Structure 1
Amino acid sequence: MTSDEPEPRVSEHSPRHGRLRRSHAGLTLLKTVGIATAVAVIAAGGIGAFELTELGRQVADNSIDISNGTDAATPLPVPHIGAIEGGFNFLLVGTDNDAAQGDAYGVRDATLNDVNILLHVSADHTSGVVVSLPRDLIVPHPDCVDPDTGEEFYAMSARPLNEAWSRGGLGCVVATVSELTGQPISYAGTVSFNGVIAMTDAIGGVPVCVEEAIDDPDAALVLPAGTSVISGATALGFLRSRHGVGDGSDLSRISSQQTYMSSLMRTMKSADTLGNLGTLYSLARAATANVKLSSNLSSLDSIVAMAYALKDVDLDRLVFVQYPGGTSDPDFPGKVVPYTELADELFAAISADQPFTLDENSLGNGTVLDPNATPTPTAPEPDPAVTETPAPEATEDPEVIAAGVPEAAPAAAAPTVIEGLKGITATTQTCAAAYSG
C-alpha cells in the first residue's frame, strides 16, 4: 500500500439504515436515459393508442417487487405526469446470466449482479451523481428474502457485492446498496447482456475513444485506436472488457464504462438524438422488452415523471464516480475494500444535495483525457450595441433599504472539491486507456 493511499477498512458492524417500504404498484446509465426519453415521446403523443396500451402492459408484466420482505404502512406514491417532485435515487443492475442468452458469454450456474450503478438526481433536478459500485466490493449484506420462493437469508459481513442477487434478486441488491450507502432507493431496474445489445442498437450508436487498439477475446471486442461509433454486441463488449483497458481490473473497467456513459449522455442531449422520434420509439420498444423495473415504476406515468426530471440535468453538473475503494488489503486478495471515510464524505454530499467536483487526479486507471477532444463552448461575448440595465449596488443606507431597493444577491458558492474520488463529469471527454496488465 502506498503512503498516500487511504487505509482500507471493513466494518462488520456497519450502521444499518432504514428498510425500504413495500410498493404496490435500467447495465449502464443507458437504460435510464433510454427509457426516460423514449417514454417522454410516448406521453407527447408520438405513437398510437394501441402501441401505448401494449407498452404499458409490458412494463407492468415485467415489474419486480424490491421490498425485500418488509411491511409497509403506506405504499410509495405513483407520480403523476410531470417531473418527480424532489430528488430521487435509481439503482441500475446489470446481470450476467439470462435464460435466453445460452452459453454465448460462458457457462454460468448462477446469476450475479455484475454491474451496480446508483443514480442520484438532485431535488432541483439540475445536477446528478452516478456511483458505480464494483462487483467485488467487500460489503456487509443485510437479511434478504427471495420474493419468488419466500426463502430467507441471514445477514452476513465482508462478502462481495455481486453475491446479493443470489440471496433475493433485485430487492436484495437494493437493500444491500441502500444499507451500504445510507441512501433510500425507491426505484430500480435490471437488464441482461441481451438487453444491453437491444438498447444500444435502438440508440443507433455511441462514439467512444480508445487510446490504443483493443483486441480482447474474452469480451469478443476488437476496436481500432481512436474514436468509433459502437452499438449492439460491440457496445456490450466494450462495457464488459477488462483485459482490453487499464490494468485489467474491474476498477479500470468501471473507468472505461464511464467513458461510454458520459459520451452517451452527450449523445442523448444532442438535438439530433432527442429530436428523432423514430429513434425514441425504438428505445421505448427495446426498453419495455428488455428492462425490468421495480413495481413502483410499473406505469408509464411513473417513467414519464422520471423522464421529465432527467431531461433538465446539466451535463457539467453530472458527475460519474467510483465507490471509493482499493485492492491492496491482503485479507481480501483481488477484491475491492471500501475506503469508508471517503465514502462517508461522498454520500454526505449526496444526501445534502451539495454539488461537488473532482480534483485534478480523478481519472481512474481505465481512462485518459481525449487528446482530440472538442473544446467546451464558452459563453458568447456581450453585444456592445445592447445596453443592459445595471444591477443595483449593495447598500446599508436604511433610507434606501426602506425605499425598496434590494441588497445585491450573494454570489453562488463554488462546488466542493472531494479529494481522492475517481471519476469524471459528463462533459469530460476521455479515451479508454491502453491495457497495461
Structure 2
Amino acid sequence: MGRSRDYREHGADASAGSGPVSRHGDAGAVGVARHFGAQQRRMPVWLKATTAVLTVVLLGGLGFAGYWYFRLQSNITTAPLNAGDAGSGSDDAKGRMQILILGSDTRDGKNAVYGAVEDSVGYGKSDVMMLMDISADNKRVSVISFPRDLLVDIPECTDQKTKSSYPARSGMMINEAMAEAGIGCAVDTVNKLTGLEIDHFMMADFNAVKELSNTVGGVEVCISDAVYDPDSRLRLPAGTSTVQGEMALAFLRTRHAFADGGDLGRIRAQQGFLSSLTRKIKDDGTLSNPAKMLNIADTVTQNLTVDDGLASVPSLLTIGNRLKDIDISKVAFVAVPTTPALSDPNRLQIAEPAGSQLFTALQQDIDLTDPTAPATPSPSETAAPSAEPTETVPAVPPYEKAIQPVTVANGTGVQGRAQEIVQALVAGGFTQTGQFAATPVTQSAVYYGTGFEDVAADVAALLGIPAAQVQSAPGVTGVQAYLGTDFTSGTTYGAVALPEDIVNQTAGDTMCQQANPFLIVQE
C-alpha cells in the first residue's frame, strides 16, 4: 500500500501500463505549467531592468519625436499660393517641382532694427526673388534670380485675406507685386512672366538669414578687394572670409558693394553665397544627419512663411530628401537676362530674345548646364492663317528661292521674334520676305497658296517645322510661316537656343565677387 502511495506522489514507471502513465502524465503536465508560472512571478532582476530601460527609451523616443514634430509644425506660418485661382495639386514626392523663394523687406518684429515699419508697405516688398526648379529625376536644380528693379506687368490680384481686388498694372517693379495683395500676387506675376506654373513658395525675412548662417557655423564668401558699404554696414577684407549673423545679412542685402553697385552685382553675390552654403551643407553631411537637419529646420521654420501645400513637416522634409543626392555641378544659378529699361534707364527690362529663350528652356525642362539635348514640343492647337494682308510678289516659274514670296506672322507674343526668322530665311536664300504681328497661337505652322506647295516644304525644312504642320491655305499668297508660342527662340523649331553665358555659376564653382571701385578701402 505504501508503494501505491509512492506511485501517486512521485509518478509511475512507463513500464507499469498505459492507463496510469497517461493519468500521471497529465498531472505532470499541470505540474510543469505551475513550475513555469512560478518562474514568471519571480522575474530576474536583470530582465526587469532591461524591460524598464527599453520602455523608457521607447517612450522617450516617441516623446522626443512628438516634441520636435509639434515644435516644427507650430513654427510654420502659411499664406495662399495664388492671388486668384487655387494652387497646384502637384505630387511633391515625385515629378518636377518649382518653388518661388522670396526675401521680405518687412520691418515688423525682429526686423524693426533695419528701418521703420513705414519702410515696407502692406505685405512688404520682395527684397529677393528666386525660382528654384527641381527636375523630376532629382538630378539637377536651376535657381533663377529676378532683379528687384525689373519692370513687368502685374496681373489683377485679389488679397485672399481681405478679398480686396487690385487691377492689373503695367511697367511695375517686380518687387512690388506682393505689397498690396500678398505673396500670391508675386507668384501669379512670375507665372505670367515665365509661362510656368509654380507649385510652392517660401518667404523668409532678414532674421532668417542671420540665424541660418549662425546655425551652420558661417558661410565662406570671397571678394576681390577690401570694401566698406555704410548703407548695409558690410565690411570685408580682400579674399575669403567666413560670414555669419549680421555680416552674412549685410553681404546679402548690400546693393552697392559689388560690381558697378547695381542689382545685377548683388544677384551674383547672393548666388555666390548660396553656392557656398550648398557646398558647406553637402560637405558636412547635413542633409543626411537628423540632428543637424532638426537644428536647421527649427531655425528656418521660425522665420518662414509657406503656402498651404508645404505647411507640414513631412512636406518640408520631402524637399530636403529630394535635394540631398544632387550633384552640386548640376545646381545652376541663373539671372534673368535684362537690359536698361527704355522708360527709365535706372530700371531694367527683359532682354530679348535671351529672356524668351530662357523661359522657353524652362517650359521645356531643359538642363541649363547642358542645353544641347533635343526637346520635342508637345502637340497642341493649330494656327489659322492670318487674314492680315501682305505685300507679295507672284511666284514666277521656274522655282527660284530669291523671288518666292514668304511672310512671317509673329504669333509668339515675343516682340521682335519675326525678325530672327526673317534673317534665317534670307540666309537660306528666301530674300523676298515680309513680317507682321499676328494673333498668338500655341503651335507654329507653314501655310501655302495655290502653286506654292514645294516652296512651303522647303521653308518648313529650313525652319525645322514638321511636315504635318504644313497646310494648304488658298487665301494665302505665296508662303506664310506662322510662328506660335512653341517657337519663341532659335531658328530651328524644337531646338532651344540659349546665350552661352546664361549660367552665372554652379554650386560647384568657387567664385570671388568683384568689388565696387567706389567702395574699396585700405585694409
Q: TM-score of the superposition, structure 1-length normalised?
A: 0.71
The alignment-based identity, stated in percent, is 33
Distance 2:498 2:355 in 1: 14
Answer yes or no: is 1:105 the counterpart of 2:114: yes
Counterpart contact for 1:358–1:421, Cα < 8 Å: no
Q: Residue in 1 aligned with 2:190?
A: 177
**Structure 1 residues 242, 214: CA separation in 2 closer, same or farther (over 3 Å shift)?**
same
Q: Secondary structure at the match of 1:189?
A: strand
Distance 2:499 2:62 in 1: 43
User: Does the Cα contact within 8 Å between 1:113 and 1:163 map onto a contact in 2?
Assistant: yes
Secondary structure (helix, strand or coil) at the match of 1:131 reads strand
Contact 2:338 2:349 in 1 (8 A): yes
Q: Does 1:226 align with 2:235?
A: no
1:338 to 328, 334, 350: 350
* Letter matched to residue 353 of structure 2: E
**Are 1:126 and 1:317, in contact at CA under 8 Å, matched by a contact in 2?**
yes
Note the C-alpha offset of 1:54.
Answer: 2.3
Contact 2:358–2:498 (Cα < 8 Å) also in 1: no
What are the within-5 Å matches in structure 2 for residues 83-232 of structure 1? 84-101=93-110, 103-107=112-116, 108-110=119-121, 111-232=124-245
AA of the residue aligned to 2:78? S
Question: Are 1:55 and 2:64 matched, yes or no?
Answer: no
Query: What are the superposed Cα offsets for residues 357-402 of structure 1, whole Å, 9 maximum, x if unpaired?
Result: 389xxxxxxxxxxxxxxxxxxxxxxxxxxxxxxxxxxxxxxxxxxx
**How many Å apart are 1:260 and its aligned residue?**
0.6
- Return closer, same or farther for 1:216/1:278 CA change in 2, 3 Å cut-off: farther
Alpha carbons of structure 1 residues 276 and 420: separation in structure 2 relative to 1, 3 Å: closer
Deviation string for 1:310-369 (max 9, x for gaps)? 123221111101111022x3422210111142122112222222213389xxxxxxxxxx
Q: Counterpart in 2 of 1:287?
A: 300
Query: In 1, distance between residues paired with 2:189 and 2:332?
Result: 23
CA distance in 1, matches of 2:300, 2:230: 28
Partner of 2:139, secondary structure, is: coil
1:69 and 2:84 correspond: yes
Q: Is the Cα contact below 8 Å between 1:96 and 1:193 reproduced in 2?
A: yes
Cα distance in 2, alignment partners of residues 244 and 192 from structure 1: 21
User: Structure 1's 276 and 304: CA in aligned 2 closer, same or farther, altered over 3 A?
Assistant: closer
Match of 2:514 in 1: 433
Alpha-carbon offset, residue 186 of structure 1 = 1.0
Equivalent residue in structure 1 for 2:264, among 240, 251, 255 = 251
Deviation at 1:418, TM superposition (A): 3.3
Given the superposition, is the C-alpha separation of residues 109 and 271 from structure 1 closer, same or farther in structure 2, using an over 3 Å criterion? closer
- TM-aligned CA deviation for residue 278 of structure 1: 4.2
Q: Which amino acid aligns with 1:53?
A: F
Task: Supply the distance in 1 between the matched residues of 2:146 and 2:108 (Cα, whole angstroms).
Answer: 25
CA shift in 2, pair 1:177/1:45, >3 Å:
farther
- Contact 2:252–2:269 (8 Å) recurs in 1: yes
> In angstroms, what is the RMSD of aligned CA positions?
2.4
Say whether 1:323 aligns with 2:336.
Answer: yes
**Aligned partners of 1:132 and 1:321 also within 8 Å:** yes
**Other structure's SS at 1:70 match:** coil
Letter of the aligned partner of 2:201 in structure 1? Answer: A
**2:254 pairs with one of 220, 241, 266:** 241
Per-residue deviation at 1:184?
0.8
> Using a 3 Å threshold, how does the CA distance of structure 1 residues 319 and 46 change in structure 2: closer, same or farther?
farther
Structure 1 residue 352 corresponds to structure 2 residue 347:
no
Contact 2:107-2:113 at 8 Å conserved across structures: no
TM-score (norm 2): 0.60
Distance 1:103 1:289 in 2: 17
Question: 2 CA distance for matches of 1:346 and 1:197?
Answer: 32
Corresponding letter in the other structure for 1:342: A
- 1:431 maps to amino acid: C
Deviation at 1:239, TM superposition (A): 0.4
- Give runs of aligned pairs for residues 2-21 of structure 1, distance below 5 A: none
Range with greater deviation from structure 2 (91-100 or 45-54):
45-54
Q: Secondary structure at the match of 2:517?
A: coil
Partner of 2:502: 421
Query: d(CA) in 2 for partners of 1:416 and 1:430?
Result: 26
Mind listing any 5+ residue stretches in structure 2 that lack a counterpart? 1-60, 372-495, 519-523
CA distance in 2, matches of 1:46, 1:234: 37
Secondary structure of residue in 2 paired with 1:432: coil
* 1:434 counterpart letter in structure 2: A
Secondary structure of residue in 2 paired with 1:283: helix
- Cα deviations by residue, 1:197-247 (Å, 9 ceiling, x for unpaired): 122222221111111112111111111111111111110000011221110
How has the CA–CA distance of structure 1 residues 102 and 188 changed in structure 2, closer, same or farther, with 3 Å as cutoff?
closer
> Larger helix proportion, structure 1 or 2?
2
State the distance in 1 between where 2:171 and 2:237 align: 40
